[in-house]
Chains A and B, each alone.
Chain A
Amino acid sequence: MSEKKATSAKFYVHDLDLFYGSFQALKKINFQIAANRITALIGPSGCGKSTFLKTLNRMNDFVEGCKITGDVQLDGRDIYTSGMSEIELRQRVGMVFQQPNPFPKTIYDNVAYGPRIRGVHRKSELDEIVETSLREVGIWDEFKDRLNKSALGLSGGQQQRLCIARTIAVHPEVILMDEPTSALDPISTMKIEDLAVEMKEKYTIVIVTHNMQQANRISDTTAFFLLGELIESGPTQDIFLNPQNKKTEEYITGRFG
């Protein structure tokens, strides 16, 4: 904690460069992500917003030939060089994917998965975690009578909320969401958005979205990426009502993208 910066930022990113082989996917990114806020990352396909999201819990480690330079600090500790294990990091920084990806297990076992791999095995303890996690995402009443049914039989929206419950079952501090509603219908999308807004009291949320209305509706801060560069970031209202950069304006008004 000695290297903690004098800032309330959850994530502090300084001069981040990321290469896939010889292709530079992120260029000199400087950005801070505030705690207990929703930060939206927007930009056209291939702009680097998902890549940036994945650097925050080192999911890029699985991509061969991926090289990262610069600082990415979580609460003042560099997640790449301070010796923080990716295991610890990913417990603190959970991830929700574009396609709902429940495991082919029961609803109960999906939520209990994270606690179990961390050594929680007592039934009463697991029962409690499963219940509170499902309650938190608002699907306990819906699911409590079929906890032993397979998660694969649920609808896409239910699956995605189950995945969020699975993520929060290990009490992360940050939740990364990679276009979490792009595979869902409008009603499920609305439920996930409401949930995200509710959850920001307890968690820091970073969401990648293609949907500009979504960014506008739920986020506090918006960052606009283009061709691997962070073009503009700031309070969401400012970005949407009064963008400083011409590229940002063109994108949010739908002139390209």
Chain B
Amino acid sequence: MTEVKNEKKARVEVSQSLIRRARAVDNIWTVVFYLVALFFLLLLFAFAGYVIIKGFTGAKPEMFRFDRNGVGNYFFNTVYLVFLSLLISVPIGVMGGIYMAEYAKDNAFTKFLRIAIETLSSLPSIVVGLFGYLIFLVATKSQPNLLVGAICVAILSLPLMTTTTEDALRSLPPSYKLGSMGMGATLRQTIQSVLIPACVPRIITGVILAAGRGFGEAAALLYTTGSDTNIKWNPAAWVNPSLNPFNPLRRGGTLSLKIWTSFTASVGAEDVANLSSAILMIMVLSFSILAHYLEGRIKKKMGDTK
């Protein structure tokens, strides 16, 4: 009798020590993961802080101006270029994603398309820039302009928009589609009125990433937009279309190109490059914060509490 009891007790003790060990290991790993997260957070803050502080401490007031010497016009060009590129990449990318998720048959052609999209997504941006230069500028005998730059950036972000949309559609519960089709809606009505609205938060995430890529893109614009800018904000000057800020067919260097040219072209222009970097940093950060806020609001409106 006592022997049985002892054996039982021994077994219980073993399992107790096992549990203690498991708990200890669990705690250690929890700490490790927190440290890794903290490391990345610090890295982000240190990096962003350094760039922003360095950029603004070396800045002189005239650098902020929207004229030949300031970075204001480059800031405007960056925003305008990203806007133009999204105008191209979002509709085409979303439609491509809809095709891949809802219409594409499981056949060789679709497989080929998928490989093409994957290849496009890993294409070096300088190659896309060169492509844009040869096709849209040399072949059409045009001068460098913002629109061609925007097309190149759109080409770069197209695979991202397509796969984001496709993944978003595929991850929806099948009951949405069945529910809608079961009421006699056509596939197009179902996609337009139920599926795409349900995907909007995730598509916005794709737009953030695409825009982030556009803000920082330099290589694809090197040959396509021209690295300088000479727009005028006085409407009287717009009789010459190349001075009109809203004309997409004019030359227009962006902030990232300004960083590049400031460092390479002239000595002592580092302050301008640093300020450009700081502004670019703030743009990307505030854009993602805004977009995440927007995404959260839409999700909340749809009742998605995740």
Contact = CB atoms under 8 A, between A and B. Distances in A.
Nearest to A95: B182
Nearest to B198: A104
Given A90-B184, A114-B183, A117-B189, A152 B304 contact: yes
Given A88-B184, A91-B184, A105-B302, A97 B179 contact: yes
B178 A94 contact: no
Interface in B31-64: none
B198 A103 contact: yes
B176 A87 contact: no
B127 interface: no
B301 interface: yes
Interface residues of B, number: 22
A115 B198 CA distance: 20
Contacts of B173: 101
Contacts of B304: 104, 150, 152
A256 interface: no
A99 B182 contact: no
Interface in B200-225: none
Interface residues of A, number: 32
A104 B197 contact: yes
A101 B179 contact: yes
Chain A CB within 10 A, most for which of B182, B197, B198, B304 = B182
Contacts of B268: none
A62 interface: yes
Nearest to B186: A87
A103 B176 contact: yes
Given A103-B198, A105-B302, A150-B301, A117 B178 contact: no
B193 A116 contact: yes
B118 to A, nearest CB: 26
B235 interface: no
Contacts of A118: 184
Given A150-B303, A151-B303, A152-B302, A105 B197 contact: yes
A203 to B, nearest CB: 15
Contacts of B183: 90-91, 94-95, 113-114, 117, 166-167, 170
Nearest to B201: A104
Interface in B155-175: 173, 175
A99 B197 contact: no
A139 interface: no
A62 B178 contact: yes
A149 B305 CA distance: 13
Interface string A96-132: 0101011111000000011011100000000000000
A110 to B, nearest CB: 9
Interface in B230-272: none
A163 interface: yes
Interface in A215-257: none
A86 interface: yes
B194 interface: yes
Contacts of A101: 173, 175-176, 178-179
Nearest to B190: A117
A86 B185 CA distance: 9
Contacts of B180: 103, 113
A86 B184 contact: yes
A94 B183 CA distance: 6
A199 interface: no
Given A152-B304, A170-B184, A99 B193 contact: no
Interface of A: 57, 59, 62, 86-91, 94-95, 97, 99, 101-105, 113-114, 116-118, 149-153, 163, 166-167, 170
Given A105-B302, A163-B179, 20 more contacts: A62-B178, A87-B186, A89-B184, A94-B183, A97-B175, A101-B175, A101-B178, A103-B194, A104-B303, A104-B304, A105-B194, A113-B180, A113-B185, A114-B184, A116-B193, A117-B184, A150-B302, A150-B303, A152-B304, A170-B183
19 contacts: A59-B178, A59-B181, A59-B182, A87-B185, A90-B184, A95-B182, A99-B175, A102-B179, A104-B198, A105-B197, A113-B183, A113-B185, A113-B193, A114-B185, A118-B184, A150-B302, A163-B179, A166-B183, A170-B184
